[in-house]
Amino acid sequence: MNAESPRPATDGSRVTIHMAASLDGFVARKDGRVDWMETSDEFADGETMDPEFVEAFLRTIDCYVMGSRTYETALRFESQGFGWSYGDKPTFVLTSRELPKVRDTVQFHSGDLAQFVNAQLRPRFRSIWFVGGGAVSGECLRLGLADEVHYSILPILIGDGIRFFDGLDRDVALHLAEVKAYRNGMVDLRYELR
Ligand SMILES: NC(=O)c1ccc[n+]([C@@H]2O[C@H](COP(=O)([O-])OP(=O)(O)OC[C@H]3O[C@@H](n4cnc5c(N)ncnc54)[C@H](OP(=O)(O)O)[C@@H]3O)[C@@H](O)[C@H]2O)c1
């Protein structure tokens, strides 16, 4: 199977790209800061996020995949006392470098991303979440590896930064499958890849 060939439709696995972004489509400032994510808004008609629902939802995710710069951000957050966002789920970090392995669930991978996803992850995991950053999300879409995009829009514009999808070189048609608006002004969009 080459990098662009479609995966078997019957394998039952699902690759989701998820990040939160500003309304103007940035997932971090140019220097990587995400201070703008602490927004304060209130949308009276919005849903309240039920922590039990969120916990149950997170349990449905079988593994995470991220770029090395996102991993470095996660390490920084953890060292600042904000915890590790990926629980005890296997977390695959894409990198060509030697990076510190901070827990047993973290594994590093370099090489052909399409082969990794289709031949190694899909047969082992049902719900595979790509959690950024922009470079890896762009690459995942460019290679046709994703089944859906889950986009959480925060109520803020930041003008410049790291784009949700970096380096896309073609149009990608999407099907809007779900929309949810929350009391804190966040809008969740779920798109399926056509
Ligand atoms: N708002 C959100 O929800 C959210 C979520 C996630 C991340 N972020 C932010 O996004 C920023 C990081 O995003 P980013 O775009 O700069 O970097 P990234 O996508 O996290 O990481 C890119 C790096 O991953 C490695 N890599 C290995 N294989 C790759 C492949 N096939 N495709 C692409 N990269 C590959 C490369 O580094 P090596 O040199 O190590 O090989 C590459 O430079 C951080 O500031 C983070 O805080 C925000």
149-188: pLDDT as tens digits: 999 999 999 999 999 999 888 899 999 999 999 999 999 9
CA Rg value for the chain: 17
Q: How confident is residue 116, by pLDDT bands cut at 50, 70 and 90? A: very high
Label each residue of 19-70 as H, E or C: EEEECCCEEECCCCCCHHHCCCCCCCCCECCCHHHHHHHHHCCCEEEEEHHH
Residue 1 has pLDDT above 50, yes or no: no
User: Ligand 1: which of 16, 22, 68, 77 to mutate, most ligand atoms within 8 Å of CB?
Assistant: 68
φ/ψ of 97, rounded to 5, equals: -105, 170
The verdict on the CB of residue 152 being under 6 Å from ligand 1 is no
Q: What's the CA-to-centroid distance between 162 and ligand 1, angstroms?
A: 10
Q: How confident is residue 3, by pLDDT bands cut at 50, 70 and 90? A: very low
Residue 4 has pLDDT above 70, yes or no: no
User: Ligand 1: which of 27, 86, 130 to mutate, most ligand atoms within 8 Å of CB?
Assistant: 27
User: Ligand 1: which of 24, 69, 160 to mutate, most ligand atoms within 8 Å of CB?
Assistant: 69
Residue 19 has pLDDT above 70, yes or no: yes
Q: How confident is residue 66, by pLDDT bands cut at 50, 70 and 90? A: very high
State both tokens at 54.
């969120």
Per-residue pLDDT reduced to its tens digit, 34-54? 999 999 999 999 999 899 999
Q: Between the CA of residue 8 and those of 15, 76, 119, 127, what are the distances in Å?
A: 13, 38, 11, 16
The verdict on the CB of residue 20 being under 6 Å from ligand 1 is yes
State both tokens at 46.
């919005």
Position 64: which residue type?
Answer: Y
